[in-house]
Structures are given as C-alpha cells and as structure tokens.
Structure 1
Amino acid sequence: MSIHPLVVDLDGTLIRTDMLHESALKVLRDGPCNILRIPFWLARGKAALKRRLADRTLFDPASLPYNHELLDWLKQQRTQGRKLILCTASDLSIATAISDHLGVFDEVMASNGINNLAGKHKAEALEQRFGPAGFDYAGNSRADLPVWQSARRAIIVNASTDLIQKAKAFCEVEQIFPSPSINLNSLRRVLRAHQWLKNLLLFVPLFAAHQFTNLGAWPALILAFFSFSLCASSVYIVNDLLDLESDRLHPRKCNRPFASGVVPVWMGVALAPLLLLVSLGLGQQAGGTFLPWLEFYFVLTCAYSFGLKRLILLDCLTLAMLYTLRIISGASAAGLGLSYWLLAFSVFMFLSLAFVKRYAELEVQLLNGKQQAHGRGYYTSDAPLVQTLGITSGYAAVLVLALYLNSEAVVKLYRTPECIWGAVPVMLFWISWMWMQAHRGNMHDDPLVFAVKDKASLLSGIAFAGVLAIGTMGWPW
C-alpha cells in the first residue's frame, strides 16, 4: 500500500455537482435582487464570491449527489491506512461541512475567501504541503491538469477520453472512474417530454366548440402546442434547478437529472433561456393573441418557482390556473371564444388535481417520518384537510358539468343532448377513483401522468369521449 497521501477534489469528483453553481442558484432563489450584487462580489475575486455565497446559503451535506463508487473506494483506501485529504476550490465552510458528514478525510484544504484554491494555486499549495510528486490526486477537469503535473499518480473521475490522455502524459494513472453518460434519454428527462401531454389541453376549445373540422385553426394550434411545450420545458428546468435540495430528499424526484448529478447544473442554466427564445419565436408565428397568454404563463410559472409554491393554498390555486391557461391559450391561437362553463369546469377540475398532487407528496413525507414537506408550506398533518379540499373541488367541477347540461348551449351543440348526462357519472367515478388511489399511496407525483398510465382512467376517458360522440352524432341505431 502506498504511503503517499491521497488528495481528493470535491466538485465534479467526490460529488456530481458544483457547489459554486448550487450556492449561486440558492442565493438567487431566496433573493432574486442578489443578481445585481454578484458582479460586485466577483470583482473582489472568485474566492471572495464563494465566501459571500456560502455565508448566505444553508445546505444539507447528506442530500448531495455523491459519487458512491469513488466514495466506497476511498473508504477502502482509508481502512488500508492511506491518509485522505479533501482539497477543493469550494469555500472552506462548505468543504468542512461535507468532510464532517462523511467522516473519511483526515484533513481539509479549501478556498478561504482570499485565495481561490484551484488550478495552479492548488498545485502550488499541495506541492508546498507534500513536496513534488509527494501525493496522489483525484480530479475530474482540465483545471486539475497542473495538479496532476505535480502529483505522483492520478485518479481520474468523470473525465473525457481526451482529458485522460492528457493526464497520462503528466503522471501514472492509478484508477479511472467513468462519468455517467448524457444521452437522448437524459435530454428527454431534462425536458420532461412526457409532460408535453398536458399541452394537448390547447386543443380542448376546438373540440368543445365542435370546430375540429376547422382546418384553418390546426396549423396555429400545432405551432402553439410546440411553443407551449418548449416554454414549459424551460420552466421545468428552472424549477428543477431551484428545487435541487427538495428533490434530493424525495424518494422519486431524487433521480431527476439535475438532482442526481447526471446532468450538470450549468447545462440547465444554458438550456433554459435557449428553449424560451425558440418558444417565443414559435408563439409569434402562431398568431392571434396566443403570444401574450404564453408570456403570462411564463411569468406565472416563474412566480410559482421562485415563491408561490412555498405558500399554502396559493400554490394549488396557481397550479389550477396554469392548467386553465393552456385552454385559454388554445382558444386564443384558434381564434375561438371561451364559454363560462368550460372555464368554471376547468378551474375546479384542475384545482382538485393540484390538491391530489400535494396530497400525494404529503403522504410520501408522512411515510418517511417527516413533519413538514421540504420546500413547501404544508405540514404532513394537513393531509386530511388537503384531501377534503381536493375532493370538494372535484365534485364542484362535476356540478358545473351537470348545470351546463341544462343550458341552451347543449341543445345547440348536441343532436341528442339527453345522452350527455352519461358524462356526469363517468366524471364522478373518475374523480373518486383518483382520490382513492391517492389515499392508497398509488398516486404519481403528477396526477395527469398517472391518469395516462392508469387503465381505469383511460377507460373513463374513452367512456367520456364516447358519450360526447353519441350526443353529437346521435344514436348509431
């Protein structure tokens, strides 16, 4: 066994993220006006910036996405008597907290608010501490090349083939830990492409008005669909970046690309505005008043991500409005008017689904022994009240549907309006079924995603569509 100490980098090596990026995101989330302060902090040096950010953020070391393969190897090295040093460009307070949590490092070296311990500065500090070729070093980036040049051996983590070859030119490579691959599936998960199904709601006004043969409206609606989908993906990325710690504490959300560290945070920061720009370009082409509604949707979702999602009740009301905005935007793109009945039904229905989502999250937290949902304003003891509010909202939507069936609009739109009454028991069943599944702990984080995969929900959808079709065309016999 080597008597040489093993020096380990933190960002991108021991953890699959960068603490500078995460600290900056948390500071911006908690105080968006801090974006004006960051340039002044940076003017005093990168180490000073890291210290300011670290002083303004709290984090849970246990929730970070560690490279467990590397960590297990480090523990094995330590049991064999090897001295381990955590050496990072992150601020000393962050590095110390992580070291204390893991309990495997004998020493910590980090940026101290004055000196930024990265690249050549890290190499010089280590060479001064252990002498030339007096240590082995585990790193992951081009900034580590000067350190490997001063090291005896290299342990290369999450690096490209090109970087591995360059490190081999400086010193012997002892171990290589491959990086997780970023593929099309990773991109699909980043965009949450499955959530694009929600944007089919843009087509609801066209079908509700029985204008599905209006060929002139379809091109605008298709453009609106992709515009809305890209905008939604942009917001999902922002939401994931601002909610990293909460997602990591969730049993399923911890596997999301940014929370797990499969996709680095900086990629999300670059991708979100790009998606938004493409979305706005498509929205401009959709015509009508679609673009202002799209912009309002974006502003409201940002408000939700930055603060509204942490306010009880307002979070669910906002979610209901975001769903309803899809229907309003679809009507705007197609140049159709919206009825009071459709809007009222949508608000109550989506409010019920928003409460389903929150109730399911509270049930998960309750099973994990938590008293409060992390990043939300709810206590787990609120679950029964949330359930009551949600069921009431769902039944209110059915009541609106029943009252609509007695209106003059039904007589004008449907050949056999009496058949439409069959939609009422179908909706009653589906609302009750969704809440029964939530109560039993079977609900997905997103009720609409659950409904698309659930056989009973799909059969309810087919039955609902069948009733409307019979009401429109009359009995087939």
Structure 2
Amino acid sequence: MKIDLVQVNSAAAWPIVVDLDGTLTATDTLVESVIQFIKQSPLNLLRLPFWLLKGRAAFKDAVCSRAAISADRLPYREALLVYLRSEKSKGRHIILATAAHKSIAQGVSDHLALFDDVLATDMGRNLKGSVKLEAIQEKLGTDFVYAGDSRSDIPIWNAAQAAILVGASAGLAKSVRDRNPVEQEFSKEPIGFSTWMKALRVHQWLKNLLLFVPLLTAFSFMDIGKLATIALAFLSFSSAASATYMFNDLWDLENDRAHPRKKDRPFASARIPILTGLVVAGCLLMLAFALALVVSQAFFLMLLLYVILTSSYSWMFKEYVLIDVIMLSLLYTLRILAGSVAAAIPTSEWLLAFSVFMFLSLALVKRCSELISLEQIGNIAARGRDYRVADLAVLSPLGVASAMSAVVVFGLFINSPDTQSRYATPGLLWLVAIGLIYWLARLWIKTSRGEMHDDPVIYAIKDRGSRSTVIVMAVTMLIAHFLALDGML
C-alpha cells in the first residue's frame, strides 16, 4: 500500500492537495453525471454535443447543474482517506483540487468533512493540468504535496514538493519516482479474472441453456447439426446478455450502491472503469449480432427483440411494480422461443404456458428475496424500484400461486393425447410433477427464511438439494420417454 520515499520533517506544514476523479474516488464523476442526465431522458443525449462545443467547463456546468451525484454513494479509496485523516490530525491542511464540477466537489467536501478548501471547475475555467496548477499556486504558492493518479497530473507533481501516487499505472509511477520525491504510494488494484467474470455475469449464461429446451423436449439432442446450431446460438445470446448486463449495471450505479450486496459489483465499486465497461459491452454486442446472423436471419431478429426488451426493462419497466417481474418471465420464455427458431423445431403451447408460470414464480422469488434483505437491514422500500417491504404480503402468495400453476399445467400436459403417444411410460411423469412441487416449494421456503440468493438461478446451482432434484427430474423424463414400464406401474 505504501512506499515511503521522503520524510516530511520541517515540511510537515506542507498542505496536501488531493485530486478527486481516479484518486480520492476510483470513478469518473463527469461520466456518472452524463449517465444520470441521459437517464432522465434518452433524448438528452442529443444535447450533449452542442454543450461540448462551448468548452469543457461549460459542458460540465450544463450537465452537473441538471444531474445530481450523491457524494455519500461514491466509492472512495478508503486507504487514502485513512492516510489523509491521519495527516490532518497532525495539523496538515488538506485541499481538494479537481477538474470535477464545483457542485460535485463541494458535495464531496461536505460529506467527508475533511478538506480545508475546495478548488474545482466552474463556468469560467476547467481545472485540469496546468490550469489546476495555476489555481493551486495562487492559493498555496509552491509548498504543497499533490495526490493524483494520471498523466495529466505530471505538471503538478513536477511543481510540488512531493508526490502522493494513487492508483497510478506502473509506467507512470516509475516516471514520477524518477523525477519527484514520493511521500506515499497507494498501488492500483489490478482488474482480476474473477472481477471480469462478475462484470460479464458469466454465471447468468446458465439461463441461456433454455435455448436447448426445444431440442431436449423434441428428443432431438442426438442431431449433431441442430446441436451445433444451438451451441452457436447459445454463444450469441450469452454475449448479448453480458453486454446488456454491463449496460444495466452502468445505468443503475446509484441504486446498486444503495443495495447491501449489489454495492460490491465491479462497476458500482469502481473496480472496472465506466468507459472500459462501455467499450467491452459494445464489442460483445457486435459479436453477438454477428454470430446470430451466422445462425439465421430469423434468429437474428429474435436476438434483436431480446436486446430491445431487456434494454426496455433496464431503462424503464424495472421501475414499475409487477410489470418488471412479468417482463423477466417473458425474457426467460423468449429464450426458449429463440432456441426453437434456431433449431427449426416447433415449440408446443404446453411448454410456453408452463414456462410463463414457472419463470414468473422465479422472478417473484428474486424480488421477494431482495425485499427480505432490505427488511433485515431496516429499510422499508427498494431504491429505484416501486417496491416496499410491505408488498411481501402480496408478492409471496402470488409467487407460490404461479409455481403451483406451472405444476397444474404440467399435470394437464401429462394427460394430453400428444404426451400419451410420445412417451413410452407417460405415467412416470407424475414423479416429475412431485419433484416440481418439492423444488419450487423449497425455493419459496428458503426465500421466506431470508436464505435465498438475489438470483434463484445461482441458488439452484449452489444448493445441493436443488441440483439433485433437477437431475432426478431430468433423468425421470428420459426414462419416461424411452422405457416402456407400463406393466410395472
């Protein structure tokens, strides 16, 4: 965490000047302000280029006067804050000097109650690089220590008595050490493989296994050509899903930071820069559509519909009670339809009806789990969603009813003439119905106890009881299809 290369002796009175974006906080407050502004209305995106033509200072003033960043929600570098508070207790002055807009800088100063003065961008000048140095020297002269993170800070480090390096790249850190005394260094935490896996939500790719369902229900899984096509469709859907998850996380930064578990997501915690996330998400989306065109034009249209619906959910429908869970259930069912289109296998009405009720129940599990988590920490409502803890009295019974409706549909499916003709031992499917009752009831019991993960899919993967039940049901369906056991039943 620290490399102590200079002792501050009589210079103990040197004030510490601290940058904000990338230094005090790992995020970029301007980019976050732009996202907040676009969230108010996507049409606001058209106004940004015209403001930028007026200069960066005017651009920041226009955006930040219309979009509020919550200083108490920003992901601060705690190690740096501990050091600054320690130095302040020794009598050193701490000054915040940032290219961020003055409204953001003042909000941060008020929240942290740490800084003796604030220098920031206003309508007249953009406080970056040499302009920031001039402002610092006007205020302090040449006796100061500067804490920064980027190459634009080099002129200030060169003029300072000492440098504090915060999250600087290895090359930049070496360059600064070669030219300047370094009082303290806070190394940059590398973006690890596991962090990217969380950002891409790779575990959510399991939902896209629903693309294989039409192949399985038609018992065509030995058709290598169709299997290869569905595998390619799976990669396409998974790439698109990761892209939309990343866009959603960037869109929902403020709300995620207010959530007890979501605050640790890679973008909410600023472990991955926002602009990096946007570039990666854009590349994944292009890859997804390219793969979809290889599958077929019809599948490309299904993927396009999925992206439109999931984007609409993230930008609008997720804020409305019940509409959001209905949208989630439809997005699950759409995956099955997409698999049917990719493999050119008709999807039965029984499967679609079962899917809608099943996935509505799982979506309600997800929502109830979040509300129970909020209730446990004393909150009464979800941030960014039209849900309250009191809604559990309605949502939980609705979720259980949806689960049992799925079982009823499955029971009717067992007695349908088509099932009786296609399965060697259709009566064996009643064991699957019993397994469904057990599995779904178990999910809801775990939810009511507060033991459910935010996502029931993750819980089903990690929970041994769920895994075992699903495997037994799948094996039972195969036996019912292929083996004639009528004489034994």
Same fold (TM over 0.5): yes
Question: How far 1:183 sits from its partner (Å)?
Answer: 2.2
Structure-1 separation of matches of 2:140 and 2:269: 34
Aligned to 2:339: 330
Matched to 1:120, the amino acid is: S
Report Cα offsets for 1:235-269 as digits up to 9, x if no partner: 00000001111111222211111111111111111
Report if aligned partners of 2:149, 2:167 keep a CA contact under 8 Å in 1.
yes
Report if aligned partners of 1:119, 1:144 keep a CA contact under 8 Å in 2.
yes
Report if aligned partners of 2:29, 2:69 keep a CA contact under 8 Å in 1.
no
Question: How far 1:475 sits from its partner (Å)?
Answer: 5.4
Aligned to 2:187: 178
Report if aligned partners of 1:157, 1:178 keep a CA contact under 8 Å in 2.
yes
Structure-1 separation of matches of 2:325 and 2:463: 23
Aligned to 1:225: 234
Report Cα offsets for 1:137-176 as digits up to 9, x if no partner: 0000011111112111100000012111222344211111
Q: How does 1:36-47 map to 2 (within 5 A)?
A: 36-47=46-57
Aligned to 1:431: 440
Report if aligned partners of 2:94, 2:114 keep a CA contact under 8 Å in 1.
yes
Structure-2 separation of matches of 1:267 and 1:413: 51
Structure-2 separation of matches of 1:345 and 1:95: 53
Aligned to 2:389: 380
CA 1:89–1:42 in 2, change beyond 3 Å: closer, same or farther?
A: same
Q: How does 1:31-70 map to 2 (within 5 A)?
A: 31-70=41-80
Structure-1 separation of matches of 2:89 and 2:443: 52
Structure-2 separation of matches of 1:39 and 1:386: 44
Report if aligned partners of 1:352, 1:391 keep a CA contact under 8 Å in 2.
yes
Aligned to 1:313: 322
Please state if 1:352 is matched with 2:361: yes
Report Cα offsets for 1:172-205 as digits up to 9, x if no partner: 1111100111122222111111111111110001
Report if aligned partners of 2:372, 2:389 keep a CA contact under 8 Å in 1.
yes
Q: How does 1:99-114 map to 2 (within 5 A)?
A: 99-114=109-124
Structure-2 separation of matches of 1:210 and 1:413: 10
Structure 2 residue runs of 5 or longer lacking an equivalent are 1-8
Please state if 1:97 is matched with 2:107: yes
Q: Which among 54, 66, 71 is matched to residue 81 of structure 2?
A: 71
Q: Which among 304, 307, 318 is matched to residue 295 of structure 1?
A: 304
Q: How does 1:83-94 map to 2 (within 5 A)?
A: 83-94=93-104
> What RMSD, in angstroms, separates the aligned Cα atoms of the two structures?
1.2
Runs of 4+ in 1 over 4 A off after TM superposition: none
Q: How does 1:4-15 map to 2 (within 5 A)?
A: 4-15=14-25
Report if aligned partners of 1:288, 1:333 keep a CA contact under 8 Å in 2.
no
Please state if 1:28 is matched with 2:22: no
Q: Which among 203, 210, 219 is matched to residue 201 of structure 1?
A: 210
Matched to 1:35, the amino acid is: L
Structure-1 separation of matches of 2:57 and 2:375: 41
Report Cα offsets for 1:3-57 as digits up to 9, x if no partner: 1111000001001101001111111122111110001111111111112221222
Structure-1 separation of matches of 2:480 and 2:17: 73
Structure-1 separation of matches of 2:150 and 2:418: 65
Question: How far 1:467 sits from its partner (Å)?
Answer: 1.7
Q: Which among 168, 171, 190 is matched to residue 177 of structure 2?
A: 168
Question: How far 1:60 sits from its partner (Å)?
Answer: 2.4
Question: How far 1:412 sits from its partner (Å)?
Answer: 2.2
**TM-score, normalised by the number of residues in structure 2:** 0.95
Report Cα offsets for 1:64-100 as digits up to 9, x if no partner: 1110000000000000000000111101111111111
Structure-1 separation of matches of 2:335 and 2:407: 20
Report if aligned partners of 2:32, 2:69 keep a CA contact under 8 Å in 1.
no
For residue 259 of structure 1, give the secondary structure of its aligned residue in structure 2: coil
**TM-score, normalised by the number of residues in structure 1:** 0.98
Structure-2 separation of matches of 1:290 and 1:4: 65
Report if aligned partners of 1:210, 1:413 keep a CA contact under 8 Å in 2.
no
Please state if 1:3 is matched with 2:17: no
Please state if 1:273 is matched with 2:282: yes
For residue 13 of structure 2, give the secondary structure of its aligned residue in structure 1: coil
Report Cα offsets for 1:299-341 as digits up to 9, x if no partner: 0011011111111111001100111111011111000001100
Identity %: 43
Q: How many residues align?
A: 476
Report if aligned partners of 2:366, 2:454 keep a CA contact under 8 Å in 1.
yes
